[in-house]
């Protein structure tokens, strides 16, 4: 929709910011979790994927 361009841009910016915060929370939870032996393989997968 060309007439909704500023609203589209604002919603897109909000969407990317929310994704960024969710990714930060996921990494924080991975590094602060107690059972390190179970999330070590997931950390390895994450490092391999990115």
First and final CA of the chain: distance in angstroms? 34
Q: How many CB atoms lie within 10 A of CB 50?
A: 6
Q: Break the chain into its structural domains and give their ranges.
A: 2-49
pLDDT of residue 1: 47
What pTM was estimated for this model as a whole?
0.42
| DSSP letter (8 states) at residue 32 | H
Tokens in use for 8?
């589209």
- Give the span between the Cα atoms of 9 and 12, in whole angstroms: 5
Whole-angstrom distance, CA of residue 12 vs CA of residue 19: 11
User: What does the pLDDT look like over 1-48, one tens digit per residue?
Assistant: 456 566 777 888 888 888 888 888 887 777 776 555 555 666 666 655
């Amino acid at each position: 929709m060309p007439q909704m361009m500023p609203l589209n841009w604002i919603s897109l910016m909000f969407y990317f910011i929310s994704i960024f915060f969710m990714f930060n929370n996921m990494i924080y939870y991975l590094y602060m979790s107690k059972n390190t032996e179970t999330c070590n393989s997931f950390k390895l997968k994450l490092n391999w994927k990115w």
